[in-house]
Structure 1
Amino acid sequence: MYFPSRIRAFAAGAALLAASAIAQAQQLPNVVILATGGTIAGAGASAANSATYAAAKVPVDKLIAGLPEISKVANVKGEQTFQIASESFTNDNLLVLARRVSALAKQSDVDGIVVTHGTDTLEETAYFLNLVVRTDKPIVVVGSMRPGTALSADGALNLFDAVNVAASKDAKGKGVLVTMNDEIQSGRDVAKAINIKTEAFKSQWGPLGMIVEGKNYWFRAPVKRHTTQSEFNIDEITALPQVDIAYGYGNVPASTVETIGKGAKAIIHAGTGNGSVADRVVPALQKLRADGVQVIRSSRVNTGGFVLRNAEQPDDKYDWVVAHDLNPQKARILAMVALSKPLSTADLQRVFWEY
């Protein structure tokens, strides 16, 4: 039998615990997770399926519910922005996502933002956000190489790390970040280098830091212009121009460039080595430039591409641009953003040096 004094003590204790929980929640940072689909929201037929699965199946509320540990790191809310595999991402998807990230970043009650994303085009979205969202609040893009149903699934830890980084004051002002495989990568530098391992994302310049048991360890900071230092703003971009990629390879015909360049405002030539262009393709690119299409030389080298101006081609003579160290897909992102404004070739080249 409970006596009145014991009942009062029990009620007081419960109230104290509830008040303590509320106080703790009020002290934690507020992080919003924008879910877009991908493998991190995927499901396989069995636990043995790590590479064969259906992407974009698990809604964001279930992702959050399956990771109760994040409640100790931040007050987390989720929004289902899209539910698609990232190879199907469009320019319109990029614009919608960036506008939502920008709007959240302006809210005083949001301290950080996480975007869950399929890995196939994750690097492109991360770089796009890095260019157009004007905030110093942490924005972290995260995915996984295995669905949550697989043995040794990597999504849960990747997401925990992403929330941890987004909630951290030491991540402020470092641009858009990517957390995969315990590493903190720059959204500008990182690229998917392999499609079957959990350590799939690499940067030729190395990670910015590591996450170990919820603690961030930083080793370098990005020096290229981004976010608050960017001259581009998602609030001013209504549409993205058509920019296409032409791939260089042995025996490549000029018709490849001619076909891809139709209707484009710029064409990224993913050349071999130092952005080399086959002799039979040069006239086709010259014609495109004469017709007003910007020609940007990039390299198809997986990690370590670096294109020097006037090295393989007389870029000054042809009025071409070089992509610096950006891979073709990121060069396309930067060209679209840059050419949303009226820029000369010289200004476009400046943008590629600075961003």
Structure 2
Amino acid sequence: MIHKAVKSFGLGLTLLAASVSLYAKNNVVVVATGGTIAGAGASSTNSATYTAAKVPVDALINAVPQIKDLANVSGIQALQIASESITDKELLSLARQVNDLVKKPSVNGVVITHGTDTLEETAFFLNLVIHTDKPIVLVGSMRPSTALSADGPLNLYSAVALAASDEAKNKGVMVLMNDSIFAARDVTKGINIHTNAFVSQWGELGTLVEGKPYWFRSSVKRHTNASEFNIENIKGDQLPLVQIVYGSDSMIPDAYLAYAKAGAKAIINAGTGNGSVGNYIVPTLKKLHDEQGIQIIRSSRVPQGFVLRNAEQPDDQYGWVVAHDLNPQKARLLAALALTKTNDAKEIQRMFWQY
């Protein structure tokens, strides 16, 4: 029965690919980094328990031969890692490899297969540091390749279709999951066990149906060619140290102090509500900012809405920054990049408004 289902699925994709000739001649490179899309479970019924980053890029591509009807597809293995283990070192390495690819005239688009745990961070980072108008599409899966109804094959097929589409140029880095096209800036993982895991409070850019993208909005924030950040200007394999402290009731200052001792240049306060800070924590943050020059950035643990400046706390008076609508993990990345250019809180705040 399983064999028949797989055969039927493959036939369906073949017919789908045959109907999509618009993108057939573009060249797309699949950059593999590991993750669930390259994972394997002990049996076909293991959809939540499995080992990530097991399947190499050539096997991923060969498992969906229909994508070669969409574009001239090649692959490189940039990383082979579960995405929760990615550090700044891997992030910078990946960005440099992708940057080298998009500079080649022979490459029309790039697909990056990635674990879903930190897919949004990688997508946002690339959105800020890669200068190109070519489509860059990140894709993952919520089920390993060995699972019943694995979502990886169709996600990969759709990601290649998107990356091969001329309509996808100049839209910034995108995430393709579950037929939805998201902007890297505002996509986030909203659930950890279902295939419709990725969401954006501002909505999808569009959707992809039978290999064709349909568009409904665009991202108005600065990205890619319009960004003041550039991977070519970042040296070494580390970014300035920025860490996150999760807000709750009954907090103690030890986490902030420990990060300061470790050399953090900025601390993201993932506060309650409107990025709120307990009145008993405020003196610690003021001291870290005033005496050690550590940037204090108010984000929120609340997944929707945005942090208002000078609401809850007098940010102008304290010299603090608000993360606007960026979640804590994306605020960490933008703060780190900002610190490669300046330590002026007003300039950093400008960047949070613009990106």
- Does TM, scored on the shorter chain, surpass 0.5? yes
Aligned match of 1:174: 171
Per-residue CA deviation, residues 266-294 of structure 1 (Å, 9 max, x unaligned), is 00000001000011111111111011100
Q: Secondary structure at the match of 2:161?
A: helix
Q: How does 1:145-164 map to 2 (within 5 A)?
A: 145-164=142-161
Instruction: Name the CA distance, whole Å, in 2 between partners of 1:160 and 1:292.
Output: 48
Helix, strand or coil: the match of 2:97? helix
Aligned to 2:226: 229
Partner of 2:301: 300
Q: Which residue of 2 aligns with 1:241?
A: 240
Q: Aligned partners of 2:166 and 2:53: how far apart in 1? A: 31
Displacement after TM superposition at 1:342 (Å): 2.2
Instruction: Name whichever of 260-269 and 172-181 sits farther off.
Output: 260-269
Cα contact 1:305–1:326 (8 A) shared by 2: no
- Cα distance per residue 1:128-150 (max 9 Å; x no partner): 00000000100001110000111
**Secondary structure at 1:157 match in 2:** helix
Contact 2:135/2:169, CA 8 A, preserved across alignment = yes
Q: What residue ranges of structure 1 are gaps of 5+ in the alignment?
A: 1-23
Aligned to 2:53: 56
Deviation of the 1:27 alpha carbon: 6.1
8 Å Cα contact 2:23/2:70 also seen in 1? no
- Residue 68 of structure 1 pairs with residue 69 of structure 2: no
Q: How does 1:1-355 map to 2 (within 5 A)?
A: 28-238=25-235, 239-262=238-261, 263-290=263-290, 291-302=292-303, 304-355=304-355
**TM-score normalised by L of structure 2:** 0.92
For 1:330 and 1:27, the matched residues in 2 are separated by 35
- For 1:26 and 1:138, the matched residues in 2 are separated by 13
Alpha-carbon distance, 1:261 to partner: 2.8
CA drift of 1:343 comes to 3.9
Q: CA RMSD in A?
A: 1.3
Q: Distance in 2 between matches of 1:49 and 1:261?
A: 42
Rounded Cα–Cα distance in structure 2 between residues aligned with 1:100 and 1:67: 24
- 1:65-84 per-residue CA deviation (whole Å, 9 max, x = no partner) reads 00011011000110001100
**How far does residue 26 in structure 1 lie from its aligned partner after superposition?**
11
CA distance in 1, matches of 2:121, 2:79: 16
Distance 2:23 2:298 in 1: 51
Matched AA of 1:59: P
Contact 1:70 1:163 in 2 (8 A): yes
- Asked if 1 retains the 8 angstrom alpha-carbon contact of 2:40 and 2:145, the reply is yes
Aligned-pair identity in percent equals 64
- Distance in structure 2 (CA, Å) of the matches to 1:25 and 1:296: 46
Q: How many Å separate the matches in 2 of 1:261 and 1:226? A: 30
Contact 1:273 1:305 in 2 (8 A): no
Number of corresponding residues? 331
Larger Rg: 1
Cα distance change, pair 288–146 in 1 and its aligned pair in 2 (3 A): same
Does structure 1 conserve the Cα–Cα contact (< 8 Å) formed by 2:243 and 2:267? yes
C-alpha contact 2:23 2:71 (8 A) present in aligned 1: no
1:261 match: secondary structure: helix
C-alpha distance in 2 between matches for 1:322 and 1:346 = 11
Distance 1:175 1:338 in 2: 19
Per the alignment, in what secondary structure is the counterpart of residue 78 of structure 1?
A: strand
Following superposition, the deviation at residue 152 of structure 1 comes to: 1.0
Contact 1:244-1:260 within 8 A present in 2 as well: yes
The amino acid that maps onto 1:35 is A
Contact 2:50/2:144 (8 A) holds in 1: yes
Q: CA deviation at 1:250?
A: 1.2
